[in-house]
Amino acid sequence: MSEFCIYTNNARLFYKITKKFKEESIKFSAIDSFEHLNPKYRVLLTTKEDLEKYNPTIPSFITLLKVNSDQSLDEIVLLTKQKLKFINKFNDLIIAIDPGSMTSGVAVFLDDIFIYSRDFYNISHLLNYIQIVFSTFQDHQKTIKLGNGNSEITGYFLDKLYTIQIPENNIQYLLVDEYGSSHYKGNGSSSLLSKHENAAILIGRRKGVLLTSSLLK
């Protein structure tokens, strides 16, 4: 039995979320009623509408994650990963990127805690995802760490990140030495992840050189 459970009376939302979770290999249990909550569960995903309709008493051992049908599935996955790590407060949001000509790995950290990674095959999709991450975790210091394995590719990514897609001015950009990242097998890495994801995790854990706006321009 998974420690993570889902209850919602919204059948369409339930289908969308559970389908996404299966694709992401997020283990969960579906419960038929709030009354089925028990100490084996630690996190409950539900909606504001369900809580208002049934007015359940949520046990103190349950961490609550409230979602709604207007949220993107990517946002719900990120919030789920945060809850599963039991991260209530954090200061820094870090997005680490292993840039590639064909495939790029992205890893997301809350402070120094890795929560999620995935591959991208199109820079437009990657940039859109970064905006989703920023929107999901607002009001935090935002840092983008970019691997420097290929200067031409890195320069292209920096140009897209800084001058086109992301207008926010409170983002720190760090250039990180990614030597050996393709074979990283340290904290947070997994044989279930791609080499690009594992490389992004290592980049996220390393210190980098701060790039100022004058250098980026």
For 36-87, the pLDDT digits (tens) are 999 999 999 999 999 999 999 999 999 999 999 999 999 999 999 999 999 9
- Relative to beta strand 171-176, strand 43-47 is unpaired
Q: Are residues 72 and 119 in the same domain?
A: no
Q: Which helix (H) or strand (E) holds 109?
A: strand 104-110
pLDDT at 215: 55
- The total of other beta-carbon atoms located within 10 Å of residue 71's CB is 17
Radius of gyration of the chain (CA): 19
How many distinct structural domains can be found in the chain?
2
Q: Which amino acid is at 194?
A: S
Q: What is the mean pLDDT of the chain?
A: 89
Q: What angle do CA 174, 188, 130 make, to 5 degrees?
A: 45
Q: Are residues 142 and 212 in the same domain?
A: yes
Give the residue numbers spanning the domain of 70.
4-84
Q: What angle do CA 157, 162, 164 make, to 5 degrees?
A: 90
pLDDT at 132: 94
For 123-175, the pLDDT digits (tens) are 999 999 999 999 999 888 999 999 998 889 988 888 888 765 565 667 899 99
Q: Which helix (H) or strand (E) holds 53?
A: helix 48-54
Q: Please, which pLDDT band fits residue 188 given cuts at 50, 70 and 90?
A: low
State the Cα–Cα distance between residues 52 and 34, nearest whole angstrom: 12
Q: Encoding tokens for residue 144?
A: 């983008």
Work out the percent of the chain whose per-residue pLDDT is above 90.
Answer: 76
| Domain termination site, one of 29, 57, 84 | 84
- Relative to beta strand 4-6, strand 29-30 is parallel
State yes or no: pLDDT of 91 exceeds 80.
yes
| Domain termination site, one of 84, 107, 132 | 84
